[in-house]
Amino acid sequence: MSSVKVAVRVRPFNSREQQNDAKCIVEMRDNTTYITNTKAGPKDQAVKSFQFDYSYWSMDTRDPHFATQRRVYEDLGVDALEHALEGYNVCIFAYGQTGAGKSYTMMGRPSEPEQAGIIPQLCRNLFLRLDGESAKEESASPTNRSIVEVSYMEIYCERVRDLLNPKNKANLRVREHPLLGPYVEDLSKCAVTNFDDINDLIDAGNKSRTVAATNMNETSSRSHAVFNIVLTQKKHDSATELTGERVSKISLVDLAGSERADSTGAQGKRLKEGANINKSLTTLGKVISGLADV
């Protein structure tokens, strides 16, 4: 099993692209993505190919090789869940420009079950598995029950906000514990026992993400959202009368839009950062630190 898998997905044209009569320069065959450079000169190679573990064609539903939400989950989510149940930590990142469809792939459309993204599908299947396993247990005692805890946070401009407790306006501190590792102080961890619970929390979290965005004029595209599931599985061994615990963490991350954010320097595409002069004296510290790195 390779520890890192990379998948790429292409979405249908949006209305603006359709209006502008956009041309699709992406093609996918098997797991290879082909991109055509329409401005290629006669000596340049017009079509470049890129190998990925998965190349998902979600451009046109009419195409035979159209990749559905279900298919993406089957390839990526099923294994992730399996590894988590075995006790490994797994992490799924979605990366791309604003509007590329990251949130659609990770969350999907809550109102339409067929368009559920990786996170809801994974949660649903997690509970199906856990319920199934506890049903199998002959002596299903309370000590055997697995515990599922979720947390949902948003990171914007190096500030962390708890999406499951939006009333807590304070910026949460990130601390490093020598044995437990880095953690976010006071981040709510909610225990959930079924899929509906988790679904409600996800909805609430998503809404407070939008609300937070409007209040401070940030947009969801400029912040990272991290949805964590901590799974504690307890297994009772009747022979030794001991109960073992296996803890694994599933991290599902919807990263901020990868394009340059704005000219105030909040983020910066690396190329731009090199050229631009920072106008605000609040960045003096950054300029000085940059000196020491040279």
Partner 1 sequence: FIFFKSTPDADLVDLVSRALRLEESSADDPEDQPYKSRYEARKLLNEAISIVNAEGLSSAVETKAEGDSSSPDPEFKSHRRQLRLLWLKIRLASNYLETDEASEGYRMLTALLEADNEVLQLNDGGTDQSGEVVVADSSSANRYLREAAVKVQLYNWLGCACCHLNRHADAIEFLQQAEAAFLRAKRLLAADESARAWDLSDLFPSAVKPANEKEEAASALADSCSLESLHTKTLFYLAQAFGKADRPADSARYCQMTLNRQLALSDYAASEWAVNCAALSQYYLGVRDFARAHRCLCAASAAAHDPDSELQHNRASISRCWVKYAIALLEYSRDLAQHQLEDCRSEADYEDLFPSVEAGHHADKVAYVPAVNFEQARAIFLFAQRHLTSAKDFFRLDEHCTDHAELVRDHSRAFLHLLQFELDSDRRARMHKRRADMLRELLSQLSQQYYLLLCRQIRFELGETLVDLLDIKLSALESQAAAGQTPSPAAVAKANAIGRDAVTQFDLFVDSFRLPPPESRLPDRLEALDTRPVLLALFHSARVSARLPEPSRDRRLANLRRAEANYRQVSEYCERVPEAASVMSPELDLIRDMLALMPVKVQTVMDKFA
**By the rule CB under 8 A, 146 interacts with partner 1:** no
222 binds partner 1 (CB under 8 A): yes
Cα–Cα distance, 147 to 164 (Å, whole number): 18
User: Least CB distance from residue 74 to partner 1, whole Å?
Assistant: 26
CB closer to partner 1, 142 vs 274: 274
- Minimum CB separation of residue 211 from partner 1 in Å reads 16
Cβ proximity to partner 1: between 135 and 179 the closer is: 179
Q: Is 98 an interacting residue with respect to partner 1 (CB under 8 A)?
A: yes
Is 254 assigned a catalytic role?
yes
Among 44, 237, 241, 262, binds partner 1 (CB under 8 A): 262
> Hey, which residues does 183 pair with through a beta bridge?
175
CA 131, CA 86: separation in Å to the nearest integer?
16
Question: Does the annotation count 279 as an active-site position?
Answer: no
Active site residue 102: yes
Q: Please tell me whether 99 is known to bind a ligand.
A: yes
Q: Which of 114, 176, 237, 241 binds partner 1 (CB under 8 A)?
A: 176
**Cα-based distances in Å from 279 to 57, 271, 272:** 43, 17, 14
The Cβ of residue 173 has, within 10 Å, a number of other Cβ atoms equal to: 11
- Catalytic, 53? Answer no
Q: Is 132 annotated as a binding residue?
A: no
- Rounded to whole angstroms, how far apart are CA atoms 271 and 28? 29
Look-up of token digits 């017009």 = 46
Q: Which of 14, 55, 20, 19 is nearest to 35 (CA)?
A: 55
Please pick, from the candidates 179, 237, 239, 241, the single residue that binds partner 1 as defined by CB under 8 A.
179
Catalytic residue among 54, 77, 102, 117: 102
**Quick check: 260 and 274 in contact, CB under 8 A?**
no
Q: Known binder of ligand: residue 103?
A: yes
Counting residues that bind partner 1 (by CB under 8 A) gives 34
Query: Judged by CB, which is closer to partner 1: 239, or 277?
Result: 277
For the question of residue 99 being annotated catalytic, the response is yes
Contact call for residue 38 and partner 1 (CB under 8 A): no
Instruction: Using the minimum distance from each CB to partner 1, give the nearer residue, 48 or 279.
Output: 279
Instruction: Verify binding: residue 128, partner 1, rule CB under 8 A.
Output: no
- The reply to whether 205 belongs to the active site is no
Q: Which of 42, 177, 238, 242 binds partner 1 (CB under 8 A)?
A: 177
Q: Pick the piece of the chain touching partner 1 (CB under 8 A) from 35-43, 150-158, 229-237, 258-266.
A: 258-266
Which is closer to partner 1, CB of 135 or CB of 275?
275
Q: Which of 58, 156, 208, 254 is catalytic?
A: 254
Catalytic positions are 99, 101-104, 254, 257
Summarize the annotated binding site for ATP as residue ranges: 96-103
